[in-house]
Amino acid sequence: MFSLRFLPFTLISSLLTICLPLSILVESKGCSINAIYSFGDSIADTGNLLQEGPVGLFASIGSYPYGQSYKMPTGRCSDGLLIIDYLAMDLNLKLINPYLDKSANFSNGVNFAVAGATALDRTALLAEGIAMPPASVPLSSQLDWFNSYLNSTCSSQSDCAQKLEEALFLVGEIGGNDYNNAFFQGTSINTAMTYVPQVVQAIVDAAKKVISLGARQLVIPGNFPIGCSPSYLTLFSTSDSSAYDEKKCLIAYNNFSMYHNKQLKSALADLRKSNPDVSIIYADYYEAFMHMLDQASSLGFDEDSLLTACCGTGGGYNYESNLMCGSPGTTVCSNPDQHINWDGIHLTQAAYLVIAQSLVTEGFAYPNDKVQDIWDC
């Protein structure tokens, strides 16, 4: 069994460098969860955008240096594996295949997440003056894919409910692109805060939908601290030292992330009350990331590059929005396992591993007893 709980970080890192096949790391018994169904954006996309044909910022995800630590590009927005991959492996499941790969095996779940996805539909965002890239796939479309999948695989409603009762649903991270697109188009923080209730409601509505279909175990993550992202640190840099915290992250944008997360946690508390028979777990990506920064040295990360991208070019954060990782003129660091950030927007495989460990073993996902019920194997 591969376990995030019992292997030390240094040993796991060496396994990842060797890139052992999952058949060596995974056994097929012991856990009560037999499938994962995932919705979200590039934090969880294991290849859907690649199947669609990535354009714009994500045009290079299907080729090196993306996937270099995994020894092959897979459409993941990282040098290797993602949080969802580690959560699956720790449940003795194989990696969850993207829905748009019609040749894939979906016996252990389906990943509907798409890089660039938003929580809100295009019409809702346009009503707020936020333009969206043409290929964006909102959460509602991912739910439509899920319904199509169920219609093609379940013999009856009760058959579906039984299948979903033994599955884990990862609903998010989602919403980050709703805010990214707003901020990158010049929206103020105060204005963006008015969108938060709509974004949170879209996430909760998705959770309600899968619960109505039979889901009984959900993990719903909050947003990362965007003020620590090289993209934000580059685009919103200022000479005002008071704009930065002791970690050199942008205070105002991190406060915005916390505002979203606070609203989401409150909504999930209400959702638990109305669904007492369902395990609804909040995954605190924000605090897990901050904890990783605090423990960076002991985790093997280079303290001189905590807020700089491994792959990119330009400025103090190695990020240029018009020259994303993989574009001509960009370079990639020689030691991505010692970096937290991969391309200015997404994290490295090593960082995602630490986040996954934090969720399963260190109390950054709660209620903790529900986490242990799921991963007690």
End-to-end Cα, the chain, rounded Å: 9
The one catalytic residue in 260, 291, 339, 346 is: 346
How far is it, in rounded angstroms, from Cα 190 to Cα 184? Answer: 14
Strand order across the 167-171 sheet: 109-111, 35-39, 167-171, 217-221, 279-283, 365-366
The one catalytic residue in 38, 42, 229, 305 is: 42
The one catalytic residue in 38, 260, 343, 358 is: 343
Q: Could you give the C-alpha distances from 275 to 207, 247, 268, in angstroms and in order?
A: 11, 39, 10
CA angle 183, 184, 190 (to 5 degrees): 15
* CA quadruple 272, 273, 274, 275: dihedral sign: positive
Verify whether residue 107 is a known catalytic residue. no
Residue 57: phi, psi to the nearest 5?
A: -60, -30
CB 135 within 8 A of CB 52: yes
Verify whether residue 343 is a known catalytic residue. yes
How far is it, in rounded angstroms, from Cα 33 to Cα 181? Answer: 35
- Catalytic residues, which ones? 42, 343, 346
